[in-house]
Amino acid sequence: MFLLAVRADGLSQSTERWYERRLMHLADVLGKDAVLVDTNDLRRFVVELQEQPTRWRSSRVRREVAGTLSVHTIHGYIRAIKRLFTWLEENEMVHNNPARKLKKPKLPKLPPKEITLETVRRLIDAADNSRDRAIVLFLLDTGCRVAGLVGLRLQDITLDTRRALVTEKGRKARFVFFSDVTRRALETWIAERGISRESDFVFLGQRGVLKTSGVNQILKRLARRAGITGRFNPHSFRHAFAKQYLMDGGDLATLSDLLGHSDVQVTKLSYSVFITDELARKHAEHSPVAKLIGG
């Protein structure tokens, strides 16, 4: 019933599967009806996760290997559990929420996840066709998710005002904006792909509409050609867009809107991670003493 509600609320299939994997494991371990679960049951489940000696135990796509679960994995399980029991309480299926007192582990601060601008430059130089160049520029310039890029249709792009309507996470539509450089790259690719082809999707491959896996393969091919070993996955462009926007003086609230977040706190936690040198540069640019004295 909870998974049905997730689907009815318009969340993505990947989100539904994320909940399903974790909550089915919870159900298998506890082996009792949700209304009979108490806080100690949930704590015992968390301890079992912490003491689990292998990873990918129930995975269909990865081989089980030795090693304890990461704090991020355990954090994800607890998030799913708390959401389930909050939903049960909201729908009056349980009267006392046993997950309310369940504590989420503190997550370590991760290093930045963005692709470097130098890496992007090398990917652009390695692109030998207008489609691949347009993909790289659009990802960096708009900060869109890869789902927004592959779902883009010709009627979604307004080249003269340099904006596009993308549909992303949870089937939500929003506008993204791009520079004149990206506009020219899109114009070149659209002219080459032609507007008379059967599909109205902007980015096409040899077998039709380009999928997320196709974008990954394009970036891998460009990275091999350019001799790149660092980050170059599609989401790293989104992180680079956010980081560069903040480093150039953009404010967090506007960035949250540009990224399509419903809560500015999500933007802060996910995209405003700076290394020490970047913090020093930001301080040098905005130091009140430097402005006061003129140093």
Q: Which helix (H) or strand (E) holds 158?
A: strand 157-158
Domain ranges for the chain, please list them. Answer: 2-90, 117-284
pTM as predicted: 0.69
Q: Comparing C-alpha atoms, which of 99, 105, 104 is closest to residue 41? A: 99
pLDDT tens-digit profile of 41-74? 999 999 999 999 888 776 666 778 888 999 989 9
pLDDT tens-digit profile of 83-105? 999 999 999 999 899 999 999 99
Residues of the chain with pLDDT > 90, as a percent, come to 57
Confidence of residue 107 (pLDDT cuts 50, 70, 90): confident
Architecture of domain 117-284 in CATH?
Orthogonal Bundle (1.10)
Spell out the residues 6+ positions from residue 200 whose beta carbon is closer than 8 angstroms to its own: 153, 154, 155
